[in-house]
Amino acid sequence: MDSKRQNLIFLSLALILLAVMIAGSRNAGVSCDEVLHYNHSVSVNNYYTSGGKDLTCLDTPGTHLKYYGQTYDNITTLLIRISGISDIYGFRHFMASVAGWLAVLIASLLARRLAGFGAGITALLLFAVSPTFLGHSLNNLKDIPFALGYIAGIYSIIRFLTSEKSFPAGESVLLILSIAFCMSIRAGGMLLICYLYLFFFVQAVTGHLYGPRQGIKRLIGRLALITFISCIAWFMSVLYWPYGLQNPLTNPLKAHLLMSRFPLTFREIFEGNFEWTDYMPWYYLPKYMLVTFPLSVMAGLLIFVPGYKYLISRDKILPWSIILFSVLFPVIYEIITKPNIYSGWRQFLFVYPGIVVIAASGISGSLRMLRSVHLRMALIIIPVILSLHPAGFLLRNLRYGYLYFNELAGGVKGANGNYETDYYFTGQAEGAEWLINYLEKEGDGDTIIVASNFSAEWYFRNMPNVKNIYLRNEERSCYDWDYYISTNRYILPFRLKNGLWPPENALHVVRAGGAPVCAVIKRAGKDDYLGCKALNENRNDEAKHLLGVALKNNREDEMIFYNFAVALNRTGDSLRADSVLRECLAVNPFFEPALMYSGIISARREDDEQAAEYFRKLIGFNRKYFEAYVKLAEVSSKKDSTAARNILRECLRVNPAYKPAVESLAELYRRSDPELAAKYDGIAKKLK
């Protein structure tokens, strides 16, 4: 096939994919991260338009957003301002799809450069059936632009190091721009500089040992050029990054060190457990990749591994070494260091373009090597068959592409309750769209309170009679609202796996891949809210009556059971309170307030064994429920002070700054070891 026809086929497929990605971005939901990063980008642009006087963007103690360069975000917001674009998130999604497509294009061009036209076409087709990457390309202006910068940097490094020119001007400019762009999104982009130096020295050493050797002057000149490129790229990376601009030399390093050990932790579902992100097992990342990669991509990787000796020609060893290292090193480093990781492999999307290059080269290279027509047909048919599952999912659920799970996990339906699915809250968009249509048909002109477990204000911006409030799912009965939009984020695995969410009274349920991702609920009555309000105001008899009525109408909400039990206990009916709490734990055995309150009530009755059982169960479910450690130590100390001390030490291993545990430890040593007790007293005084 002549090169013109090859180029036409390649370009046509690439443009079709671009059209699909842009069209898909129009229906993408607003993600939770997106709201935070857009608001921060506004602050960043205010910093520059005020001449550096508006320092809001440097004051981000809760989100740590100042450590993100997020240049692509900032540029997008600048374009929105200049152009007067009203559909803010629609334009952001368009820009995300462009960044995602550019990453796809560069990766496919790299595959074509290293393994031929077939590999480039195969790479485009594999990307077309890659739901996670395509899904994030619809609305993720953080991880997708970083992936673009990373693969562009890898491509530029390969072009630079394999250039025969003494001073490759074009390659140098591309290298500067790609490194600067990547670092300006995340400081971790400085890895590209490390790769550049590493493989320059690898090239020099292997050339000296095996030839062809390079003259010392050429090596020194190249090293000087690499240093110049790195310095210029580093400087350019902080130009649109206020925190980096404060100290261009050290602040990018500080940002990288902090973000590699991200201080904020969350709880999410993994392997059916609801665990804290800083306690995930070492295999979290590879396991998530295993159950979310398209099997066609994994097949390409499996083909490449045993056949790499035949697929990689001698003159391509250096480029392939760079690609393989750029994919393997970040993943292996994460496994070894076990940083605070969450949301699947979202933070490692940047290695996926390189993975597709490898997989595509494995498939196309093997096709070239095989002489048997039957084997060649099998090698074509197998990836096609393996692509049917992700392709079918994308055709039906393009806007939810990022939450795809492959056949190994049983699809999204099989993953429901075993892994996080809609961790970005994107199902909220479809739920809000449905509710808007519903409210327009109802024609209610009064103020309507719509609650949601993440802000939904953007969707109701054109409905002045709708007030949106945020509230957590388990606290929904304690607030005043008329409709509630709830995604499956932070819903316990117990409820998801047993079909206890969405609730039976849901007006509308949004599904993706056969699993519920969002529910719209209409409130039947407000006795639960009024009862909770009365309870908070110590009108306990009234609270008991209202919550009793609410419980008759709704026996799915754990918080109503809990609040009713509190009201009963306050009015002296502790036995009935016990019974209600048991009913609550039957509805949800892991409802933390009920476990804690049951333990406290049992301890007051001096039923220490029962109390200890509740506290242990609570700690087993949530290792960071620190108050339970102290309560468990209290009841345990009556029989075994050593065991009580060990419980408190375990608490302090999880949270060394938990003051009540330090104070309790001091009390346990007060008589037996006054000196040690005084030591703990001193530590407690220093803690807030």
Contacts of 593 by beta carbon, 8 Å cutoff, 6+ apart: 559, 562
* CA gap 585, 562 in Å, rounded: 9
Q: State both tokens at 546.
A: 């209202």
CA distances from 299 to 303, 355, 360 (A): 6, 12, 10
* CA gap 143, 136 in Å, rounded: 8
Q: State both tokens at 442.
A: 């109802």
* CA gap 569, 540 in Å, rounded: 9
φ/ψ (deg, to 5) at 210: -120, -10
Collapse the DSSP code of 518 into the 3-class scheme (helix H, G, I; strand E, B; otherwise coil) and give the result: strand
| Letter string b/e over residues 431-452, b meaning 16 or more CB atoms within 10 A of that residue's CB | bbebbbeebeeeeeeeebebbb
Query: How many Å separate Cα 578 from the centre of its chain?
Result: 39
* CA gap 329, 318 in Å, rounded: 16
Query: How many Å separate Cα 490 from the centre of its chain?
Result: 13
Residue ranges, the chain, pLDDT below 50: none
Say which residue the tokens 């035949």 belong to. 310
Per-residue pLDDT at 444 = 65
Q: State both tokens at 647.
A: 């419980």
Residue type, 258: L
* pTM listed for this prediction: 0.94
Instruction: Establish how many alpha carbons lie within 13 A of residue 19's alpha carbon, considering only the half-sphere containing its beta carbon.
Output: 6
| Spatial CA neighbour of 468 closest among 430, 432, 513, 500 | 432
Three-state secondary structure string covering 272-291: CEEEEHHHCCCCHHHHHHHH
Q: State both tokens at 505.
A: 């009274």
CA distances from 47 to 43, 79, 151, 294 (A): 6, 16, 30, 43
Contact 668, 641 (CB under 8 A): yes
Per-residue pLDDT at 2 = 64
Helix residue spans in 116-237 (DSSP H): 117-128, 131-136, 143-162, 169-185, 191-210, 216-237
Per-residue pLDDT at 293 = 98
φ/ψ (deg, to 5) at 4: -65, -45
Contact 47, 63 (CB under 8 A): no
* CA gap 252, 248 in Å, rounded: 7
Per-residue pLDDT at 215 = 78
Contacts of 485 by beta carbon, 8 Å cutoff, 6+ apart: 428, 431, 432, 435, 450, 451, 452, 453, 456, 518, 519, 520, 521
Contact 422, 489 (CB under 8 A): yes
CA distances from 525 to 147, 471, 484, 552, 584 (A): 49, 18, 13, 12, 20
φ/ψ (deg, to 5) at 153: -65, -45
Residue type, 289: M
Residue 284 Rama label (left phi>0; alpha psi -120 to 50; beta): alpha
CA distances from 58 to 61, 63, 505 (A): 9, 11, 45
* CA gap 107, 355 in Å, rounded: 9
* CA gap 262, 260 in Å, rounded: 6
Q: How wide is the angle at C-alpha 278 spanned by C-alphas 276 and 282, nearest 5°?
A: 110
* CA gap 564, 580 in Å, rounded: 8
Report which secondary-structure segment, H or E, holds 569: helix 558-570
* CA gap 341, 331 in Å, rounded: 12
Contacts of 3 by beta carbon, 8 Å cutoff, 6+ apart: none
* CA gap 50, 43 in Å, rounded: 10
Contact 318, 203 (CB under 8 A): yes
Q: State both tokens at 38.
A: 């857009």
Q: What is the DSSP string of 474-489?
A: GGGGGS--SEEEEEST
* CA gap 492, 499 in Å, rounded: 11
* CA gap 450, 457 in Å, rounded: 9
Partner residues linked to 452 by β-bridges: 470, 485
pLDDT tens by residue, 306-345: 777 777 777 889 999 999 999 999 999 999 988 788 899 9
